Chain A
Amino acid sequence: MEPLNALVTFANFVLVPATAYGAQLALGALGVTLIYGILRFSNFAHGDTMAFGTMGVILATWGLQAAGISFGPLPTALLALPVGIAVASALVLLTDRAVYRFYRGKRAVPVTFVIASLGVMFIYNGFTRFIIGPDDQQFSDGQRFIISARDFKELTGLDEGLALKTTQVITIVVALAVVIALFWFLNRTRTGKSMRAYSDNEDLALLSGINPEKVVVVTWLIVAALATVAGTLYGLDKTFKPFTYFQLLLPIFAAAIVGGLGSPVGAIAGGFVIAFAEVTITYPLKKVLGYALPEALEPDGLVQLLSTDYKFAVSFVILLIVLLFRPTGLFAGKSV
């Protein structure tokens, strides 16, 4: 029994990656939940908004790299983030103007918006593939590790190493900063409060003189920023591929629903619930248990509960359990 090694192995393969992934999902789910709260529909184009924003970041990163500008040990993509956010903002505002505003004016039922978002999804997807192509893009540069597994072993004298990738730490730090800024904005500023009021009770908000169009514009801006940041962090941590971003839609929606649609706190909690469940269940726990259990009990198999290809199944099963037992989500969201 070597509890310390067990802990380090667990942290290395489950805890740290899942935290980073959870942060990315949480940012994505925040975008979905905000649109749901303010504009009142499930935005199927969100994954592709992330892909589009990230594409902006990647192109800007390449530009900066070509110009010889770098961010020291940090990825250049962080410098390029504002460009990506600006591009994504322009895109979603344009989309809102051209597509969603018409249906808002008609007070169309939510499902009309959802179908419109399917069309938008096709178009964004087409744009992204048109501009950058459907292939994998690596755009992470700078220092790869904060602590590599070998350094950690030498430092602590343990058999197992704990590697901390730069991208993982950046993910967590950036996500934390973004979430704090978002909550400060929603709770402390006048615009943020009017957004929450609009989300809670549209008619009352209109009566008290809140300008709905302004609320909508601000929401889209925030959503574009969140989507770009989430997409960039995911792309830095793993890799950028338009189709993967489209597939992120499922865990992101699962996170938003598990947390309670419309509830920002819930979106964050949901993101981490989904991420931890996914990583734990699809990671072979043999090594961890080998260290944690007495020798007699050491498992023979890999103790991988499900193969990694079934990660969607994990988000899905959690989603089903929550739907069955607590349909409004962990943090009672809307149940319109």
Chain B
Amino acid sequence: MSALRPRDLALFAVVIVLFVGTGMVQSWNVSLTILNMGLISAIMALGVNMQWGYAGLFNVGIMGFVALGGLGAVLVSMPPVGEAWAAGGLRVLAGLALGIATIVAAIAAWRRVPRWRGLVVLVVLLVGFFSFRAVFDGGVAMVEAVSPATSGYLGGLGLPVIIGWPVGGLLAAGAAWLIGKTALGLRSDYLAIATLGIAEIVIAVLKNEDWLARGVKNVIGLPRPVPYEIDLQGSDGFTQFAAEWGWDPITASTIAVKLAYAGLFAIVLAILIWLAQSALASPWGRMMRAIRDNEVAAEAMGKDVTRRHLQIFILGSAVCGLAGAMMTTLDGQLTPGTYQPLRYTFLVWVMVIVGGSGNNWGAVLGGFLIWWLWVQVEPLGALLMQAITAGMTDGTWLKDHLLDAVAHMRLLTMGIVLLLVLRFSPRGLIPER
């Protein structure tokens, strides 16, 4: 909680050296690309750290919340497809409303009906499900028939993409509420499995519901919060500015765009860190840690443990959703097919554990460090493999296999880093204080 100590500052200095080194050895473009994703990773790690570090909640569904955030960005920023709305938009919405009404009715029946309630609930669910499908499927077919090659979905609201960031956070928060309501208060393993499941389901929905965000056809060309490189190259002011400094205008424009993104992300990260640090230092933060360290004692003091868990679970997931929306904005596209739990869930866990669970600065450090490593392991691994296989004759089976396998060094490295830190420095690089 307290300010950073010299040792922590030294660790951050190492991160700076890594990024500057990348800029000098490889290129500044590469370095900034890693930095931008590093900023987003740091925010994800902050979110997970809230859940795990403050409250001890084991969430392995980060991928789902990140993807929901991305959906938020799409739904806010893309222009609405008027034709699709006219064709079947209202019918799709009506179908969804029917589905929600069914669930509400089933819950109400379960609570109110005095007799045969199992049967009543079952009937409500069956009738509701089939009427939902009857209304919904037709609408979906109509929407998806509208020029499927270019749109085939309802589109978004056509608002600036930055508004999509908090909306993405809200979507993730909604999903977290749903999960938290059922799985919190039970054993910790159950939350893990429930979150693992919801993440897979979110991805399945994004892949299959083409009317929502085009599924695996991907939404591309999201509006940007920063100018396009080509516009910069076309503007006289920018080219003159670049010429004065003796830069190539094309390189300068790509770097300027990346720097603009980095600036935006850094602002978000700074605000989040400030909020997280103040929260942790407040009575609320103390209560959270008290609950984490001894639930029974906290409960005896009159704290509503399950409610507080739900609260922090929603907050942390919202932060992950926010990061997901930022990531989709940075990529300029939503590609549900590329979401993989190893990359989006478990890698964030490595960041939190390595950085130091319970410490916001630790999580941020872990985000930068592990993301840098994740990207750089491949070129480093390739160098290593070339060194190993240098003695072998070209074209042998083993040499080709080893050189091909470099791509998989990442997973191995991450596993080893996680295990080493867990064993020899279980509290992480910047431990909780």
For B388-416 the 0/1 string (1 means CB < 8 A from A) is 00000000000000001101111111111
Contact A126 B409 (CB under 8 A): yes
Q: How many residues from B make CB contacts under 8 Å with A?
A: 46
Looking at B20-28, B71-79, B159-167, B198-206, the stretch in contact with chain A turns out to be B198-206
Contact B408 A312 (CB under 8 A): no
For A104-146 the 0/1 string (1 means CB < 8 A from B) is 0000001110111011111111110111011000000000000
* Residues in A neighbouring B416, C-beta threshold 8 A: 119, 123
Contact B410 A323 (CB under 8 A): no
**B182 partner, pick from A42, A115, A126, A320, beta carbons under 8 A:** A320
Contact A130 B419 (CB under 8 A): no
Looking at A180-188, A218-226, A249-257, the stretch in contact with chain B turns out to be A249-257
**A250 partner, pick from B193, B342, B423, beta carbons under 8 A:** B193
For A320-336 the 0/1 string (1 means CB < 8 A from B) is 10011001000000011
User: What residue in chain A is nearest B134 (Cβ atoms)?
Assistant: A301
**A312 partner, pick from B201, B410, B412, B422, beta carbons under 8 A:** B201
Assembly CA distance A335 to B186 (angstroms) = 9
* Residues in A neighbouring B299, C-beta threshold 8 A: none
Chain B CB within 8 A of A247 CB: yes
Chain A CB within 8 A of B306 CB: no
User: What residue in chain A is nearest B179 (Cβ atoms)?
Assistant: A320
Chain B CB within 8 A of A307 CB: yes
Q: How many residues from A make CB contacts under 8 Å with B?
A: 49
Assembly CA distance A123 to B417 (angstroms) = 10
Contact B197 A250 (CB under 8 A): yes
Assembly CA distance A254 to B197 (angstroms) = 9
Given contacts A123-B411, A309-B207, contact A42 B349 (CB under 8 A): no
Contact A309 B208 (CB under 8 A): yes
* Residues in B neighbouring A99, C-beta threshold 8 A: 419, 423
Chain A CB within 8 A of B147 CB: no
Contact A102 B423 (CB under 8 A): yes
Assembly CA distance A246 to B345 (angstroms) = 13
Contact B346 A123 (CB under 8 A): no
* Residues in A neighbouring B412, C-beta threshold 8 A: 122-123, 126-127, 130
For B340-384 the 0/1 string (1 means CB < 8 A from A) is 111000100110010000000000000000000000000000000
**B198 partner, pick from A125, A316, A324, beta carbons under 8 A:** A316
Contact A125 B411 (CB under 8 A): yes
Chain B CB within 8 A of A78 CB: no
Contact A114 B411 (CB under 8 A): no
User: What residue in chain B is nearest A131 (Cβ atoms)?
Assistant: B405
Chain A CB within 8 A of B157 CB: no
* Residues in A neighbouring B190, C-beta threshold 8 A: 257, 323, 327
B residues near A, CB below 8 A?
56, 58, 60, 129, 182-183, 186-190, 192-194, 196-198, 200-201, 204, 207-208, 340-342, 346, 349-350, 353, 404-405, 407-416, 418-419, 422-423, 426
6 CB contacts below 8 A, A to B, read A115-B349, A118-B418, A122-B346, A123-B412, A250-B200, A257-B189
A residues near B, CB below 8 A?
42, 44, 99, 102, 110-112, 114-116, 118-127, 129-131, 133-134, 243, 246-247, 249-250, 253-254, 257, 261, 305, 307, 309-310, 312-313, 315-316, 319-320, 323-324, 327, 335-336
